[in-house]
C-alpha cells in the first residue's frame, strides 16, 4: 500500500469518526442508521429556505400559490397533524419554522426541504385522486426525508466525492455566505434522487408518522400502487425520477405495516 493510499484511508477513518451520527431517534420502526453528516445543518437549512422562498415567489407571480383555499386548508390540516408527531424522531423538529404551501400545477410533485419547507402540487392530488390517508402518506414520506436530513447527507457525500475528504472535514467552518453550499442544496439536496436506502427510510418513517397522527398506514401501500400505475402509463414527472415506484417498494411497506398498525389503532381510539 502506498503512502498516498495510507493517507486517504486515514482521512476516510477521520471523516467517519467525526461526521457519522444519526439525525433521528429510531421510533417504533428503528430508523436510526448512522449517517455521514459533514456539512453544517445551519448552512443546509439556510440554503433550503432561500430556495423555497424563490419557488414560492415564482408561484405567486404566476398566480399559482395557494390558489384553491379549500385544497390549501386540506393540505395544511393533514401536514399539521403529521408535524405534531415529529418529536418521536427528533425533539428539535418541533421548533422548526415549518411552512406548508400548495402550488397549482399539473405536475405530480411534493417535497419537504430541509428545515420543514413543504410544498404539494395540485397535479399529484388531482391526477391520483388521493384520499386524506394517501395524501398523509406522501407528505409523511417527504417530512421523513427532512427529519433524517437526507439532503444534508447527500451534500456531505457529494462534497467528499467532488472536493476531497480534506475539504469535506472543514465544511463545518464554512461561513453562511458560501455560494457553493447553497448551490449544493439546490442541485443535490432538491434535484437529485435520494438513494434506495434513504427512500426506504422515508417510506417507513412516513408510515409511522401517519399512523401516530391517526391516518391509516395501509394507504402508503395504495398510494404507491397508484403511482405504479401512473408511471406505467408513461408519466414523465420529476417525482417519478426522484421517487421511483416499484413492487419492491410496496413489498417493503407491507412488511413494515405490523410495526405501525398498533400506533394507528391507538391514535384512532384516542380521537
CA distances from 222 to 33, 129, 197, 216, 267 (A): 27, 11, 21, 11, 20
How many Å apart are CA 224 and CA 253, to the nearest integer?
A: 9
How many Å apart are CA 200 and CA 31, to the nearest integer?
A: 10
**Among candidate residues 16, 30, 247, 31, the one with its CA nearest the CA of residue 146:** 31
Pick the range with the lowest mean pLDDT from 109-123, 176-190, 194-208: 176-190
* pLDDT for residue 191 is more than 70: no
* pLDDT for residue 17 is more than 50: no
Residue tagged active-site, from 99, 134, 142, 218: 142
- Return the C-alpha cell found at 84: 405534531
Model confidence band, residue 228 (pLDDT cutoffs 50, 70, 90) = confident
pLDDT score of 168:
47
Pick the range with the lowest mean pLDDT from 20-24, 195-199, 258-262: 20-24
Question: Are the beta carbons of 132 and 120 closer than 8 angstroms?
Answer: no
Higher pLDDT, 230 or 255: 255
Catalytic site includes residue 153: no
Read off φ and ψ for residue 62, nearest 5 degrees. -90, 0
The 10s digit of each residue's pLDDT in 112-170 is 999 999 999 999 999 999 999 999 999 999 999 999 988 888 877 776 666 554 554 45
How many Å apart are CA 11 and CA 16, to the nearest integer?
A: 9
How many Å apart are CA 215 and CA 208, to the nearest integer?
A: 10
* pLDDT for residue 47 is more than 70: yes
Tell me the range of 12-26, 60-74, 155-169, 237-251 where mean pLDDT is highest: 60-74
**Among candidate residues 59, 71, 46, the one with its CA nearest the CA of residue 186:** 46
Question: Are the beta carbons of 231 and 136 closer than 8 angstroms?
Answer: no
- Residue where the block lists cell 395540485: 122
pLDDT score of 230:
81
- Return the C-alpha cell found at 57: 415567489
State the average pLDDT over residues 22-37: 75
Question: Are the beta carbons of 44 and 185 closer than 8 angstroms?
Answer: yes
pLDDT score of 163:
58
How many Å apart are CA 28 and CA 88, to the nearest integer?
A: 9
Burial class (CB in 10 A: 0-12, 13-18, 19+), 149: buried
Pick the range with the lowest mean pLDDT from 53-62, 185-194, 239-248, 258-267: 185-194
Question: According to the 3-state scheme, what is the secondary structure of 132-160?
Answer: HHHHHHHHHHHHHHHHCCHHHHHHHHHHH
Higher pLDDT, 103 or 8: 103
DSSP string, 20-82: EE-SS--GGGT----EE--S-HHHHHHHHHHHHHHHHHHHHHTT-BS--HHHHHHHHHHHHHH
Mean per-residue pLDDT of the chain: 81
pLDDT score of 4:
36
Amino acid at each position: 500500500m502506498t503512502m498516498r493510499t495510507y493517507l486517504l484511508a486515514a482521512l476516510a477513518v477521520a471523516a467517519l469518526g467525526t461526521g457519522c451520527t444519526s439525525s433521528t431517534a429510531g421510533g417504533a420502526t428503528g430508523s436510526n442508521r448512522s449517517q455521514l453528516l459533514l456539512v453544517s445543518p445551519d448552512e443546509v437549512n439556510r440554503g433550503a429556505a432561500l430556495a423555497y422562498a424563490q419557488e414560492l415567489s415564482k408561484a405567486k407571480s404566476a398566480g399559482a400559490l395557494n390558489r384553491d383555499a379549500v385544497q390549501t386548508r386540506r393540505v395544511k390540516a393533514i401536514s399539521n397533524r403529521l408535524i405534531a408527531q415529529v418529536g418521536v424522531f427528533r425533539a428539535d423538529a418541533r421548533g422548526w419554522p415549518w411552512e406548508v404551501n400548495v402550488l397549482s400545477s399539473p405536475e405530480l410533485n411534493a417535497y419537504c426541504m430541509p428545515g420543514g419547507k413543504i410544498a404539494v402540487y395540485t397535479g399529484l392530488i388531482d391526477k391520483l385522486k388521493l384520499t386524506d390517508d394517501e395524501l398523509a402518506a406522501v407528505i409523511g414520506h417527504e417530512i421523513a426525508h427532512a427529519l433524517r436530513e437526507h439532503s444534508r447527507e447527500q451534500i456531505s457525500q457529494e462534497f467528499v466525492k467532488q472536493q476531497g475528504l480534506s475539504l469535506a472535514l472543514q465544511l463545518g467552518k464554512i461561513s453562511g455566505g458560501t455560494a457553493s453550499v447553497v448551490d449544493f442544496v439546490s442541485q443535490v439536496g432538491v434535484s437529485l434522487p435520494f438513494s434506495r436506502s434513504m427512500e426506504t427510510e422515508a417510506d417507513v418513517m412516513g408510515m409511522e408518522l401517519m399512523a401516530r397522527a391517526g391516518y391509516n398506514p395501509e394507504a402508503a401501500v395504495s398510494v404507491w400502487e397508484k403511482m405504479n400505475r401512473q408511471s406505467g402509463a408513461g408519466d414523465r414527472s420529476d417525482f417519478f425520477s426522484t421517487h421511483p415506484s416499484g413492487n419492491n417498494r410496496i413489498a417493503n411497506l407491507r412488511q413494515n405495516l405490523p410495526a405501525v398498525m398498533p400506533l394507528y389503532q391507538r391514535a384512532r381510539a384516542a380521537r
